């Protein structure tokens, strides 16, 4: 029997245990599988850099066969069993390909010129434990200053994740916060202006029916 896990990170002061419980409830409402739910709260590395630790020996290892990791601010609208099944068939780390970003065709050229950028977003990741240990093995602590974020580290160090199919997600921010028919809505806003976390429930009321 395949064992499955959902993981999230709650460090710093942006989110709290109430936010974690919202994510946990959405996960269990939207899967028919038995799921282990793991929350990482130890601030071993700053903010989003904690995602590197998913693949390191510094944490208790995952014993499951398939792991999905979500940012706490995602909204899960529909069943995610198919996403688990898809990740189970992959051989490396899987992440979101930011199809809504401008100049997507230029990212390879920018990387070749050592211009720091990324076409990836790690609001959703999936992997089978043991298949992407190089995410930790290639990591150096000075990369936290060099790359500013985990997603840029993956791209610039050519740890290119497998692209999660578009049908599983969309960016609510880049869709003007409309509710679209995808299983998962991301509330990343990149470098642009957008609705802050504490305003989402009030200004984007459709999210509340899923929480």
How far apart are the two ends of the chain, measured CA to CA in Å? 30
Those residues whose C-beta lies under 8 Å from the C-beta of residue 126, and which sit 6 or more positions away, are: 66, 67, 68, 69, 83, 84, 86, 87, 90, 93, 94, 95, 164
Those residues whose C-beta lies under 8 Å from the C-beta of residue 31, and which sit 6 or more positions away, are: 79, 80, 81, 84
Mean pLDDT, rounded, for 103-123: 90
Percent of the chain scoring above 90 in pLDDT: 80
Mean pLDDT, rounded, for 165-178: 94
The shares of helix, strand and coil residues in the chain, as percent rounded to the nearest 5, are 35, 20, 45
Task: Check if the beta carbon of residue 105 is closer than 8 Å to that of residue 42.
Answer: no
192: pLDDT strictly greater than 60: no
Q: Which residue has the tokens 């740890």?
A: 159
Per-residue model confidence as pLDDT tens digits over 53-103: 999 999 999 999 999 999 999 999 999 999 999 999 999 999 999 988 766
Closest CA to 70 of 31, 116, 111: 31
CA separation for the pair 185, 78 (Å, rounded): 10
Per-residue model confidence as pLDDT tens digits over 28-56: 999 999 999 999 998 888 877 999 999 99
Phi, psi dihedrals of residue 89, rounded to the nearest 5°: -90, -5
């Amino acid at each position: 029997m395949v064992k499955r896990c959902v993981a999230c990170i709650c460090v710093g002061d942006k989110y709290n245990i109430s936010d974690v419980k919202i994510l946990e409830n959405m996960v269990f409402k939207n899967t028919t599988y038995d799921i282990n739910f793991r929350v990482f709260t130890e601030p071993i590395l700053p903010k989003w850099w904690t995602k590197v630790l998913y693949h390191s020996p510094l944490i208790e290892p995952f014993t499951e066969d398939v792991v999905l990791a979500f940012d706490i601010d995602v909204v899960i609208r529909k069943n995610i069993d198919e996403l688990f099944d898809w990740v189970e068939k992959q051989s490396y780390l899987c992440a979101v390909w930011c199809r809504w970003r401008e100049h997507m065709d230029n990212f390879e050229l920018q990387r070749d010129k050592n211009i720091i950028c990324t076409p990836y977003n790690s609001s959703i990741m999936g992997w089978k434990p043991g298949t992407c240990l190089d995410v930790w093995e290639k990591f150096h602590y000075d990369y936290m200053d060099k790359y500013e974020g985990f997603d840029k580290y993956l791209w610039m160090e050519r740890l290119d994740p497998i692209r999660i199919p578009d049908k599983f997600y969309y960016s609510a921010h880049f869709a003007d916060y409309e509710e679209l028919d995808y299983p998962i809505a991301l509330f990343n806003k990149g470098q642009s202006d957008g609705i802050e976390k504490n305003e989402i429930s009030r200004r984007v009321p459709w999210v509340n029916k899923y929480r």
